[in-house]
A and B are shown apart, each in its own frame.
Chain A
Amino acid sequence: MLSGALIVALSFAYVGLLFAIAYYGDKRADAGRSIIANPYIYTLSLAVYCTSWTFYGSVGRAATSGIGFLPIYLGPTLMAALWWYVLLKMIRISKAHRITSIADFIGSRYGKSHLLGGLVTIIAVLGIVPYIALQLKAISASFSTMLQYPGVVASGSTASLPFLQDNTFYIAMLLAAFTILFGTRHLDATERHEGLVAAIAFESVVKLVAFIAVGIFVTYGMFDGFGDVFAKAAAVPELNALLVQGGAAGNYTTWASLTVLSMLAIILLPRQFQVAVVENVNERHLNKAIWLFPLYLFAINIFVLPIALGGLMHFPVGTVDADTFVLTLPMSEQKTWLALLAFVGGLSAATGMVIVETIALSTMVCNDLVMPILLRWKFLRLTESPDLSGLLLGIRRSAIVVVLVLGYGYFYLAGEAYALVSIGLISFTAVAQFAPAMIGGLFWKGGTRLGALCGLSAGFMVWLYSLLLPSFAKSGWLPITFLTDGIMGFDLLKPQQLFGLDGLDEISHCLFWSMIVNVGSYVGVSLWRRPTAAEHSQANLFVDVFRHVSPGSGSRFWRGSATVADLQTLLGRFIGPERANESFSAYARSQGIAGIEQVSANAVLVHYVESQIAGAIGSASARDMVASVVVEEPLALDEVMAIIDEASQALAYSRQLEEKSRELEAATNELRGANQRLQELDRLKDDFISTVTHELRTPLTSIRAFSEILSDNPQLDPQQRSKFLGIITRESERLTRLINQVLDLSKIESGAADWHPSEVDMREVLEDAVAAVSQIYKDRNIALELGIPQHPPLVMADRDRITQVALNLLSNAANFCDKPDSRVSITLMAETTALRVEVEDNGIGISPADQAVIFEKFRQVSDTAAGKPRGSGLGLAISREIIHHFGGRLWVESVPGHGAKFSFTLPLPRGGTSFLAA
């Protein structure tokens, strides 16, 4: 026999333990040695997802639908895989903008909208307060079940007790006290509550241990392992249906919509946002939680089916509520301590949810509902009050009490009503309405305030009409005809067969229609109008949060003027003067400034102050407050766009800059090469000039010498005189020739030479050249052999220039022939693509070293037996330039001592005559 006093004492002792843990957690946090700063505590705090609805309700659900309870846990598992992108982004954004609730998040995303924040708050309160009531009902039911011990009753109803004698009421008030104590200790920009999180994590351990203990007892104590439970269940015809999918387990549509619903709930439920985002110490903790949290869910679900089946087989059908199997199975086996452990586990599941949900809702109600309204009421003169932090804490604390009283009241009035027992999923569907505005807002810049507002309201209305009101009707609070005939008899408007859509369960039905209108309105209305400047800047800050890394990045979108003192006073009004002072000192340190006196009131400071206030009263109100002390120049949309453009342009510029620097490097390398070539050319030019001047000086010296002789000796005999004059004339001619050649070469090289291309008969050219040199050859007694065909093909060339080349080669040949039997042959051959001319002598030949350089300017084979060179040293250089100009080649082959053979080619015109010479 368990006395009521013992159970009550145990409950209060348990809550007392929570106080102690939370107190210890806060103390450690104040000392700077956090006990919650690790991924394991973070994961356990996320497990606040598992409420008494999990602890007791899963078994109840499994008892009627077999595996149908699982999607509620599979959805979060799947969503955990996406946390890497979704939750991380939410955490990053919330930390950057000091966002403390989901209402604030959505309001802030769409241009810091009061209206949107307020709407989210209202939906959350309407959807969640009944859920809190459900937790209180679970506590109450477990009380009354335990009080029957060792007897087991069909169901534990306590709703008939006056509330002053109802332990649940005191538990609720105790929880309110706990939440006030540890949830609103002080106003803080970050709104983190370490002690509270520590207590929640502890509760998660307790409920897991309790549930698994009961599970092991049932599976291995009452039965002989999993196989035994299932084998015995299969023998019972009524239970057999639970063991196969598709039977009582419900259809696949229900399964899928529950999965989607729970996927959304795990990030959108206010309590989940509170623990996962607001209370997150370090975003790295998310890493481990991605797989640890699903593991927790897995662990707490392993024994659900054995307990459900065990309970169904153990108790006669219909005598015991399946929701209480976790308690009643140990009780019926007289396991007192195990039953008490299960009771405490259920208590922990319920209280954890109530505490976190209450604090999340109270933050919303205060920041997004009450404060905006109070600040707007001018007669309250709140905007002039010196310290609002007391008022703020008062509102928070009142909100906590109000939420809990509402929850208790709803439980007290609704009792066993359908509206309460089915609230779990109805609540999930309500928060699922946040999904389009929330997830769309995270990844799509185009969503606008009006779009979010329309989507949320439309989805909310559908939820109200097709889910909440029908649950009221089923509870008897509304005429049931509302369900069966539709509103005012319109058949198409039957709440749970909207427009005749039949065959879906109520949750899938509501999810389908609400999401259609919600997403449709959100996207449609958003696309209808261009976003305003405020919407656009917020959209950028949210969607591109990973790119805006600096904490003051929001200040890019702000322009105006303010004074430091005003801003500090303003902050002091919301978080208290002392904390404001600390906060400003911290800001000064972060900016690398010695003290508050040196802080300048720039956009970064204004943004900092605004985000600090946002932590206390929500982003929308914070902006209004800051605007009251700051002369803000509103940015027009095009200016915001310009700023965003600037940022992206800066990025593009930096990329271009990189590109340019690479190009520059390449150009530098090219330049370096070019410079080397230029230096080489410069050296060549110097050589050239010195050679030219040297070449000019030689004839000038002899002209001058002979002129002096003639001038100094007027009596020189006429024969001598005429000989000297002959030398002077020849040297002058040589000088003239040299100068002409230099001019000629420079003209050709600079491209300024005149060319007169025409069809040239090489036979005529060569014969002219031979005729011109014949006298010299005759004088020197050199035999000249000609091998020229009668009708060589014509080539395109400058006749005079080619003649010049032939002359040059012939006279060179003559110059190097000084043997008695000297002989020079000139041959013309037609090849397939070119005409080829060879001038061959049997002179002294050219050494290989000289062969390489004779085509360069002023290079002469000077060490000839003939002594002084007879050419200018430019003839071959000019000849090669001419032949190159017409696309041909000029080269030499020679064996020293056996003569030399100079050859050149001239290309035949394409498709021209191809007959070969005879």
Chain B
Amino acid sequence: MIGPNLKGQRLVALFLLGCLLFNFPLLSLFAGTGRIWGIPLIYFYVFAAWISIIALMALIIERKDP
């Protein structure tokens, strides 16, 4: 492994979180017609969740401590 195994486990956990976020039924919670900053709810949710996942990935990978 590249580094300590804990990183790998964190990433797998993140993967599972992503599977949850980008699927029914959580997705259906945002199926409404609402707007956030003028952006349709579902678009806002998916993109926000997406960038959060990427940010967490970066955090996990770039963190120096094990």
Contact = CB atoms under 8 A, between A and B. Distances in A.
Contact of A290 (B22, B24, B40, B61): B61
A70 interface: yes
B27 A245 contact: yes
Identify the 8 closest CB pairs spanning chains A and B, nearest first.
A227-B38, A291-B57, A252-B24, A81-B15, A291-B58, A243-B40, A245-B31, A245-B42
9 contacts: A74-B22, A74-B46, A81-B11, A81-B14, A243-B40, A244-B42, A252-B23, A255-B24, A256-B23
Interface in A61-99: 67, 70-71, 74, 77-82, 84-85, 88
* Residue among B7, B19, B28, B37 with max Cβ neighbours from chain A (10 Å): B19
A272 interface: no
A230 B15 contact: no
Given A227-B39, A245-B31, A78 B18 contact: yes
B7 A244 contact: no
A252 B53 contact: no
Contacts of A228: 38
Contacts of B32: 244
Interface string B45-66: 0110011011001100110000
Interface in A273-326: 283-284, 286-288, 290-291, 294-295, 298, 302, 305
Given A78-B15, A230-B38, A294 B53 contact: yes
A298 B27 contact: no
B1 A546 contact: yes
B50 to A, nearest CB: 6
* Residue among A74, A88, A286, A302 with max Cβ neighbours from chain B (10 Å): A74
A448 interface: no
A77 B1 CA distance: 21
Given A256-B23, A294-B54, A82 B11 contact: yes
B54 A77 contact: yes
Given A82-B12, A245-B31, A252-B28, A88 B39 contact: no
A246 interface: yes
Contact of A255 (B8, B27, B35, B53): B27
Given A70-B46, A226-B39, 18 more contacts: A77-B54, A78-B18, A85-B8, A225-B38, A227-B37, A230-B39, A243-B43, A244-B32, A245-B42, A252-B27, A252-B28, A255-B22, A256-B24, A287-B3, A290-B11, A291-B54, A291-B57, A294-B50
A244 B46 CA distance: 12
Contacts of B37: 226-227
A223 to B, nearest CB: 11
Interface of B: 1-3, 7-8, 11-12, 14-15, 18-19, 22-24, 27-28, 30-33, 35, 37-43, 46-47, 50-51, 53-54, 57-58, 61-62
B47 A78 contact: no
A231 interface: yes
Question: Does more than half of chain A's interface fall in helix, strand or loop, or is it mixed?
Answer: helix
A259 interface: yes
A78 B46 contact: no
Contacts of A231: 38
* Residue among A256, A287, A291 with max Cβ neighbours from chain B (10 Å): A291
A473 to B, nearest CB: 31
A271 to B, nearest CB: 23
Contacts of B18: 74, 77-78, 81
* Residue among B33, B39, B41 with max Cβ neighbours from chain A (10 Å): B39
Interface residues of A, number: 42
Interface string A420-436: 00000000000000000
Contacts of B50: 74, 77, 294, 298
Contacts of A245: 27-28, 30-31, 42
Given A245-B28, A256-B24, A298 B42 contact: no
Nearest to A294: B54
Contacts of B33: 243-244
Interface in A211-258: 225-228, 230-231, 234, 243-246, 249, 252, 255-256
B8 to A, nearest CB: 5
Contacts of B53: 77-78, 81, 294
A88 B50 CA distance: 23
A84 B11 contact: yes
Nearest to A305: B43
Contacts of A255: 22-24, 27
Contacts of A225: 38
Contact of A81 (B23, B31, B57): B57
A155 B37 CA distance: 35
A231 B32 CA distance: 15
* Residue among A227, A259, A283, A290 with max Cβ neighbours from chain B (10 Å): A290
Contact of B43 (A67, A79, A85): A67
Nearest to A79: B15
B42 A67 contact: yes
B51 A298 contact: yes
A77 B46 CA distance: 12
A226 B38 contact: yes
B31 A244 contact: yes
A84 B23 contact: no
B12 A283 contact: no
Contacts of B30: 245
A246 B31 contact: yes
Contacts of A71: 22
B61 A294 contact: no
Nearest to A240: B33
Contacts of A81: 11-12, 14-15, 18, 53, 57
Nearest to A260: B19
B5 to A, nearest CB: 9
A287 B54 CA distance: 13
A78 B19 contact: yes
A48 B32 CA distance: 35
A783 B47 CA distance: 111
A244 B39 CA distance: 11
A286 B35 CA distance: 38
A783 B59 CA distance: 97
A231 B23 CA distance: 26
Given A245-B42, A295-B54, A85 B22 contact: no
Nearest to B50: A298
